[in-house]
Amino acid sequence: MAEFTMDLNDDQKQVRDWLHGFAKDVIRPAAAEWDEREETPWPVIQEAAKVGIYSLDFYAQQFFDPTGLGIPVAMEELFWGDAGIALSIVGTGLAAVGVLANGTEEQIGTWIPQMYGDVNDVKVAAFCSSEPDAGSDVASMRTRAVYDEAKDEWVLNGTKTWATNGGIAAVHVVVAVVDPELGSKGHASFIVPPNTPGLTQGQKFKKHGIRASHTAEVVLEDVRVPGSCLLGGKEKLDERLARSREKAKAGGGERVKNAAMATFEASRPAVGAMAVGTARAAYDYALEYAKTREQFGRPIIDNQGIAFQLADMRTQIDAARLLVWRASWMATTGKKFESAEGSMSKLYASETAKKVTGQAIQILGGNGFTREYPVERMHRDAAIYTIFEGTSEIQRLVIARTLAGMPIR
């Protein structure tokens, strides 16, 4: 088991510096343009593919870092560049992880390469879980998957929402209900191959922030996929459903739910790292501005009101990073989240990003309120962190119920 340390090793430092250079030289110069266009930044994704950042191999290397710090370090640097473009680069990873976590070796080898495409023809993938009436309440999911035994096909019907890359993806991974009586334990994940009839893009959302990341509804109308597109296969699904039914009869349903919640806990530090990156970007800009902007004959950082704000901003960012690193290390080394440390890291980092980006606008004054300066965009982007991957309210609920020893519903 890797010991916890705040000192990155030489390999981690090299990756960090490499990603920082890409964020500085490639992502940042393109950020304002693609935010205004509200379109997927395909040229930037292609550049990321050329240097090896947009690939499963890169994220696998970071994921399997024995210290657990590979992913948070990578996320912080990319999102320091720009949150919208960074999400376009890492969004395919959501679908890829869904296949890696649940798929067979054959499914992994077949579908993940199609998610990324190649350097000359990059593709993206979409993970489709949320629905208009089922966001935090996953048990309310209505998208159904019905097995047609005669044709060995699954028929999917429903509407997904808030899907990153939804509708423009080459491959969609769709979570659907196969047994309504089992609630969230009656769900399964399906691959929808490219150009499958019945899958269409619904509304594309015009968002407050992260506007370079495509977010849309995905409509499924009698979408037929081969039986081989059920992640993990039908035999495995049938066994899992049978176990869940037995546990439900024995009164063990709540314990199963908590095990599922533990999986979400382990993924939340990555979102916290994204928030840290955005907060750090705003702080860095505000700090340099305060050093060079003069009022009343001296730099505004000489004014205690500005200097104290910057001190608080830096302290909060460092505290958020430490919470993220702790939770990431715990998840990788198998430490149990006794106090919902994953939710703690996501909650604090998300709230810090909103606060710090707002303070950066205040330090820049009128300039900060215009789109001529990047902190305005960073503030808009930061709002998403307190919403997706579980709202701040949900994080507080998870933490409170964990501390109280109560079941998490």
Q: What is the rounded CA–CA span in Å between residue 340 and residue 334? A: 14
**What tokens appear for 121 in the block?**
């023809």
Q: What is the rounded CA–CA span in Å between residue 353 and residue 277? A: 8
CA-angle at 317, arms to 404 and 81, nearest 5°: 125
- 273 near 324, Cβ under 8 Å? yes
Closest listed residue to residue 409, CA positions, set 54, 397, 280, 228? 397
Q: Tell me, yes or no, if 153 is annotated catalytic.
A: no
**What tokens appear for 7 in the block?**
């000192």
Q: Which residues pair with 200 in a beta bridge?
A: 219
CA-angle at 375, arms to 373 and 381, nearest 5°: 125
**What tokens appear for 209 in the block?**
């922030």
> How far are the Cα atoms of 16, 97, 190 from residue 60, in angstroms, in the given order?
16, 10, 22
Q: What is the rounded CA–CA span in Å between residue 320 and residue 275? A: 9
Catalytic residue among 131, 351, 389, 393: 389
What's CA 260's distance to the chain center, in Å?
17
Q: Which residues are tagged catalytic?
A: 389
